[in-house]
Amino acid sequence: MTAHGARAVQRCRILVEPPFSETAGSLFRFWLGTSYRHTLAQVQIWMEEAGMDVRTDAVGNLVGRYEGTDPKAPVLMIGSHLDTVRNGGAFDGNLGVMLGIELVAALKDQGTRLPFPIEVIGFGDEEGSRFPVPMICSRTMTGEISAVPQGVTDSQGMTVADAMLAYGLDPSQLKNATRRPEDILAFIEPHIEQGPCLEAADEPLGVVTAIAAQTRQRVMVKGQADHAGTTPMTLRRDALAGAAEMMLAVEKRGLNGAGNLVATVGQIEVTPNTSNVIPGDVWFSLDMRAGSNEVRDALAEGIRSDIRDIANRRGLDVSFTAPQQLEAAECSPGIIERFASAVETVTGRSAPRLLSGAGHDSMAMAGFCPMGMLFIRSPGGLSHHPDETVLVEDVELAHRTLLACVKEFQS
């Protein structure tokens, strides 16, 4: 008998090293890169072995289809993303795709066809690791993105359109990746929790109730570069010292917030970045999240106000890029209950219900079709890190839960 959970884990570990990573010794795979092409080729083999017909859509998503007894019935989608952050972990996104493949493999082993088709989706770009626009591929599938993003380049100066052409995709056909909501029964996404809550509760699985609202932007701080030895401290307009105070204000807002509110500075660049020159220009990133759009917006405005006050006091100029907003996404009540029932059937325990602080492709699917997520315990709470891991026994429970949940869509 195939140990589906163990095989899913093994396959995620296979996809860590070159040619499935752009770098040796640390996982990095971005949309439409060389390692992405190799990954799609390998995952296609696994999908075909599980009994699926496989295609790559117009935006570079990998789609494996297992027909039901009624091929005209709306399709049940299951999956996640195949791209990673730089120096990422083996299971973020990838595990959801592998579990989708194992679900279909189990149905094939049983000789079972459900009344509806199943599609396993490997989304190409959830992380925004290549272009500073997250979830390009899932948002294209829902029609939220209907044309190639303009004015956006990667670190090498390549546009989205050029990257598509270099990969063999036609940017003018992007809209062909868009699906119709009436053709989709539901979208479900298994995913590692990426946090410590399930481990703290000693629970293997949890059911997601909603995904937190996010906003991201860059802060540009302009001071005056000058000689570090001849400029008195009282006459300096030090952009880095000001940015440091601003970052502490960001942290303070996050610490003083309630519930699931968080605020993070994760990137910083300093110019001229020389030891004997006062920094003249700094930019840093802002990532702000909360359980509701309203709380997130209040947090973001409070942080921007604090930053402006610090800049005025220090004689600095400050500006903000237009924020990238991801609205809070509620999971469908019916799918929440299906997952909760399946978890209790499989584990004999009530499923914890969790808010996801991390963003997922499910956010793009919310409002487009019924959507739900199953969380799998993250030992140590680590994610976006090479030590990210899972317990094989948890993944096997997740596989059995997904199988039970999917079969419930017949009723």
- pLDDT at position 409: 85
C-alpha closest to that of 207 among 78, 371, 45: 371
Q: Which residues contact 138 (CB under 8 A, 6 or more apart)?
A: 61, 81, 123, 126, 361, 364, 365
Instruction: Using the predicted structure, report yes or no on whether residue 410 has a pLDDT greater than 90.
Output: no
On average, the pLDDT of the chain sits at: 95
Is 191 a known ligand-binding residue?
A: yes
Phi, psi of 216 (to 5 degrees): -130, 140
What pTM was estimated for this model as a whole? 0.87
Query: Does 297 count as an annotated binding residue?
Result: no
Calculate what percentage of the chain has a pLDDT beyond 90. Answer: 91
CB 27 within 8 A of CB 88: yes
Q: Is the pLDDT of residue 149 over 70?
A: yes
The verdict on whether residue 227 carries a ligand-binding annotation is no
**pLDDT, position 411:** 56
> Residues of CATH 3.30.70.360 domain(s) within the chain?
213-326
Judged against a pLDDT cut of 60, whether residue 186 lies above it is answered with yes
- Mean pLDDT of the 126-135 span: 89
Which pLDDT score is estimated for 259?
Answer: 67
Please give the pLDDT value at position 260.
Answer: 80
β-pair partners for 80: 122
Residue 390 confidence (pLDDT) above 60: yes
Check whether 385 is labelled as a binding-site residue. Answer: no
Q: Which pLDDT score is estimated for 265?
A: 97
Tell whether 55 is in a known binding site: no
CA distance 366 to 384: 24
Residue type present at position 38: H
Mean pLDDT of 241-253: 97
CA 76 to chain centre: 21
Q: Is 313 annotated as a binding residue?
A: no
pLDDT in tens, 292-350: 899 999 999 999 999 999 999 999 999 999 888 888 899 999 999 999 999 999 999 99
**Is 86 part of any known ligand binding site?**
no
| Numbered ranges of CATH 3.40.630.10 in the chain | 4-211+328-408
- The yes-or-no verdict on residue 1 having pLDDT over 60 is no
CATH architecture of 213-326: 2-Layer Sandwich (3.30)
> Per the CATH hierarchy, to which homologous superfamily does domain 4-211+328-408 belong?
Zn peptidases (3.40.630.10)
Q: Is 53 annotated as a binding residue?
A: no
Burial class of residue 400 in the structure, from the number of CB atoms within 10 Å of its CB (0-12 exposed, 13-18 middle, 19+ buried):
buried
CA gap 188, 372 in Å, rounded: 5
Find the mean pLDDT for residues 102-127: 96
